[in-house]
Structure 1
Amino acid sequence: MQPFSLLYYCKQQTASRLIYCCLLLIWLLINPQIISSTDAATWYVNNKTGSDKNNGISENTAVATISRAITLAGRSDTLELANTGIPYRETMLFRNLGGSPDRPFVVEGNGAVLSGLKTIDVSKWETVKEGLFVFPLDKTPYGNPFLVSRGKRIPQAKSLDLLQTGEHYWDRSGNKIYFLCDIGKRPAEYQLEATLRISGLTLTSSSYIVCRNLSAEFFSNDGFNIHGDCRGVRLENVIARHNGDDGISIHESGGLIVQNAHVHDNFFGIQDVNASRSVYNGVLAERNQIGVSLVGGYHSLVDCQIKDSIQKEVDIAGANPGHLIGAEYNPLCKTILFAQNVSLFGYGNQTGLSIRNGATAIIERSVISDSQTGLMVDSNSFCHMSQTAIIDCDTILKSNSPNSFFDFNYYTPGQINWQNTLFHTGQFADYVTASKDDSNSHTGPLKVRPDGIVELPPGSEGTKAKLKVGPSDPITSTFTVVNP
């Protein structure tokens, strides 16, 4: 009810009701956000010229920190970050704050960077012995923290006994960092920083949020971390790099859409778990330990390129998350992946696509290339693969699954391990006869363009697989790669 309508209503009432209505009118005028709930505010943040003493309602009166802007913000508002060239060294935490399906909360990053780094106080380094120094911490942050020197990660030893020159060892139980300097140097000469903040964009039970044009780097845990009842979350044109655990991760039963992202040099590029639902379009993931890890939930990868991962490009596995009600009976927790027009370039790593522990994958019009094993399906899992090329892998296919479907595919010569029977290169026809699979598939030389698209060999035009395989459009990232 608008104030003037309320005033007209008050005139028609008794004296006692008139007093009540007048008090209500005064309260509404003092609290205009109640009168016009559809109005959303924009809060400006500038870590160079802003001040947290400002009101934040214009560029000229911007606040200095994201955390201050969030305390000022309300439902369906907008945060406008100035890209000053200086990283915002803080976590962007949303807790029970968001928008609605028709009016999402918007974070406009404008290319700004969130950083989890904190400078190490050189005066607190203690000498253990010649060249070896220790830094005491109040506590170790969650995740996989590490040291950074001039923007580059310092190699990390697995134990103090294995520490080599130029490496560090993070003693998590003792809350200490050990660093073995080069001969004749001390820690102060390295300009050391540490990943002492846990995650970048962090959502906890916050729904209908759009975040775009933002980078998250050097956090001990995740760049983009989504927990709890989070629905309708969308990331657009984001970068997640150099994080101790995941570049992007959604948990519980939340929903996430990612459109155009570059995730690189994390442990997991993407790791979505529990009964979460995620859709990735146009994502480039590279130089992670594992490109994409999916452990529970439904997930879609379309027009994505996953490459140069140290261990596996994509690994999916069924799960039984004990903290979710009825997880053992929930088929969503078994993990379902739909992959279409995807390229997985292994460059000699362990596996292109691994399907384990009761998981299901549907893969179409995609490319798996240059891994030791192209596709692995265990006996409890299921894979439906068609119109897909597996190229230059020692083992094209390793499947113990009794129910999978493979047909209308393209393979370069390599061995196949089907139901624990090994078919060597040149025995493809024997594999087809034994498995009853791939009867319409082809073997022979194939070429992959740098953009991840396969050039089908002459003569394939007449097959049912007359479709371009790999991303439907070349992956041409507009992002600037920093510290590759």
Structure 2
Amino acid sequence: MPESFLPCASRCLTKQFYSILLCIWLISGVWSPSFVQAATYYVNNQTGSDEHDGLSEKSSVATIARAIALCQTSDRIELSNTGRSYREPMLFRRLGGTPDRPFVVEGNGAVVSGLQALDAKQWKSIGKGVYVLQLEKTPYGNPFLVSRGKRLPAAPNRDVLKEGEHYWDRKTSRIYFYCEAGKQPADYDLEATLHVSGFTLTSASYISCRNLICQHFSNDGFNIHGDCRGIRLENVIARHNGDDGISIHEAGGLIVQNAYVHNNFYGIQDVNASRSVYNGVLAELNQVGVSLVGGYHSLVDCQIRKNARSEIDIAGSNPGHLIGAEQNLMCQTILFAQNVSVFGAGSQMGLSVRNGARAIMEHSVISGSGTGVYVDRLSHCHLTLTAVSQCDIVLNLQSKQCFCDFNLYSPGQFHWLETVYAADQWSEYQNASQLDPHSRIEELTVEADGTVSAPGEAMIFSGRKQTVGPTASFSLKFQQD
């Protein structure tokens, strides 16, 4: 080989050598965006101390607030489940992670509670078994009293108080409590929801929270505000809160996988131009199961049941604090629902679509509400492969902008615009509305897991048999109180 080729060969070998080094460097993570090792801060409300560094279980801090104060971007907080509630909020303000390295909150099944004990000595008798407690201020939301873990009934005003009831006067920050005969406040071990919200985010992004229970807050269990992107909740419970179990606002983004929301006012209430995806959620025993007022939302493989007023209620909105809200299509509210079982157990509405909102529901079941599906004149509904059973009013469609087909209905009334059709006027309803050409009225059987069965032949679309109702049964199990 001529000598003139040697320098070139040498340069090639050198390049190969440095390329190999570079590969080793990249593989080892030295030059990766994630090369900084995230810190884990441990919290233990029995053995911890806020004087500790929190970097190991043996040196746990005592409070969540201290752990958050120690954290930086993409760190991790791990709560010890000591069997004793953490009586403090969990507030993240402009602290979170990045898309490749989310901040992690591991709850390990621990409970975060908004309750604070009330000093029995501070209650003053005003006669006839009624006592009053003066507070410095009233927390935001819908505060209430708790006695030995149970919420006490509230009176609408002070003048109609009955034994065992309380009235919270927000203007004066006074609580009035009518004791049962022969009892005083000290006999009740009274506590109050004096913290506003539990897991609270304010312009904090890329946070993954799992295995956490938030209860007894005056406002929300999980409250997400501001510029919050990439938020994930996994295996969480929100219960006994004054307003919402889970709520996201503004234009934030939220994914929820496996959640149980019960005994709140709203189980879920997402608003403004927010975006949320719920998979595997049970919402029950709230006043309203799911309320969506603005934004895009998805409910898939969920069960909404036994809520007092409405199961699912969606409505368009015009939030004045968002730029151009009146022209923002996201504020009109869009819901995609699939494999959802809605069991009314006497509630007024199964699915209510109002004020310009849009609902797409397929492979679902609605049973037991006064009205199965209600759509006002400004709104849209696309209903397919869904069973509506045991509802006095099966459909109440006040809008011409609806599409319904390949559904099964049990006997009941059908309202189309201003006309009411009885079950034996099925063909008249079909002709007038030009809806449901392939749908049928049958006696339906609906199982507790959402499975639907009917005596008639299978629905056929595009040459294939179609499943009416959920294609997968709801079988998730959740920890009870």
Question: TM-score normalised to the size of structure 2?
Answer: 0.91
C-alpha distance 461-296 of structure 1, shift in aligned 2 (>3 A): closer
CA shift for structure 1 position 346? 0.5
1:37 Cα deviation after fit: 6.2
Which residue pairs with 1:421 in the alignment?
419
Secondary structure of the 2:337 match is strand
Match in the other structure for 2:278: 280
Report the number of matched residues: 447
Q: 2:208 aligns with which of 185, 207, 210?
A: 210
SS at match of 1:68: helix
Q: Are the structure 2 counterparts of residues 185 and 358 from structure 1 closer, same or farther at C-alpha, using a change threshold of 3 Å?
A: same
Give the TM-score normalised by the residue count of structure 1: 0.91
1:365 to 341, 346, 363: 363
| 1:466 aligned onto 2:463 | no
- The answer to whether the 8 A contact 1:390-1:396 is kept is yes
In 2: Cα distance, 1:66 partner to 1:460 partner: 55
Aligned residue number for residue 258 of structure 1 = 256
In the alignment, the residues of structure 2 paired with residue 194 and residue 283 of structure 1 have an alpha-carbon distance, to the nearest angstrom, of 28
Is 1:392 paired with 2:390? yes
Q: How does 1:249-398 map to 2 (within 5 A)?
A: 249-398=247-396
In the alignment, the residues of structure 1 paired with residue 451 and residue 214 of structure 2 have an alpha-carbon distance, to the nearest angstrom, of 30
Listed one character per residue, the Cα deviations across residues 247-270 of structure 1 (whole Å, up to 9, x for unaligned) are: 000000000000000000000000
Q: Deviations over 1:262-299 (max 9, x none)?
A: 00000000000000000000000000000000000000
Instruction: Report if aligned partners of 1:216, 1:239 keep a CA contact under 8 Å in 2.
Output: yes
Distance 1:175 1:83 in 2: 34
* SS of alignment partner, residue 76 of structure 1: coil
Which residue of structure 2 lines up, in the alignment, with residue 480 of structure 1?
Answer: 479
How much has 1:349 moved relative to structure 2? Answer: 1.0
Give 3-state SS (helix, strand or coil) of 1:61's partner.
coil
Q: Relative to structure 1, is the Cα distance of residues 405 and 424 closer, same or farther in structure 2, using a 3 angstrom cutoff?
A: same
1:98 aligns with 2:82: no
Shift, 1:241, TM fit: 0.1
How far the C-alpha of 1:54 sits from its partner, in A, is 0.5
Judge conservation of contact 2:303–2:474 (CA < 8 Å) in 1: no
Q: Give the CA deviation at 1:473.
A: 3.3
For 1:247 and 1:82, how far apart are their aligned partners in 2? 23
User: Which residue identity lines up with residue 445 of structure 2 in the other structure?
Assistant: K
The code of the aligned residue for 2:93 comes to: R
> 2 CA distance for matches of 1:233 and 1:99?
10
For residue 348 of structure 1, report the CA deviation from its aligned partner: 1.1
Question: Could you tell me how far 1:462 is from its partner in structure 2?
Answer: 4.8
Q: Offset of 1:468 from its aligned partner?
A: 5.2
- Look up the equivalent residue of 1:401 and give its one-letter code: S
Q: 1:20-419 residue pairs with structure 2 within 5 A?
A: 38-419=36-417
Aligned-residue CA RMSD (Å): 1.2
Instruction: Please tell me the residue identity of whatever aligns with 2:412.
Output: G
Per-residue Cα deviation, 1:197-253 (whole angstroms, up to 9, x for no partner) = 000000000000000000000000000000000000000000000000000000000
CA distance in 1, matches of 2:291, 2:465: 29
* CA–CA separation in structure 2 for the residues paired with 1:61 and 1:87: 20
C-alpha contact (below 8 Å) 1:150/1:191 kept by paired residues: yes
Q: Which residue of 1 aligns with 2:28?
A: none
Cα distance in structure 1, aligned partners of 2:166 and 2:126: 13
* Residues in 2 aligned to 1:474 and 1:238: alpha-carbon distance in whole angstroms: 17
Could you tell me how far 1:38 is from its partner in structure 2?
2.0
SS at structure 2 position matched to 1:428 = helix
Distance in 2 between the 1:475 and 1:200 partners?
Answer: 28
User: Which residue number corresponds to residue 11 of structure 1?
Assistant: none
Q: Deviations over 1:272-331 (max 9, x none)?
A: 000000000000000000000000000000000000000000000000000000101000
**SS in structure 2 opposite 1:230?**
coil
- In structure 2, C-alpha distance between the alignment counterparts of 1:470 and 1:70, rounded to whole Å: 42
Q: SS at the partner of 2:424? A: coil
Unmatched segments (≥5 aa) in structure 2: 1-32
| Offset at residue 456 of structure 1 (A) | 3.5
Deviations 1:432-463 (A, max 9, x none): 01111001001110101111221233422656
1:465 is displaced (CA, Å) by: 6.0
Report sequence identity in percent: 62
Distance verdict in 2 for CA 1:111–1:169, change over 3 Å: same
> Helix, strand or coil: the match of 1:459?
coil
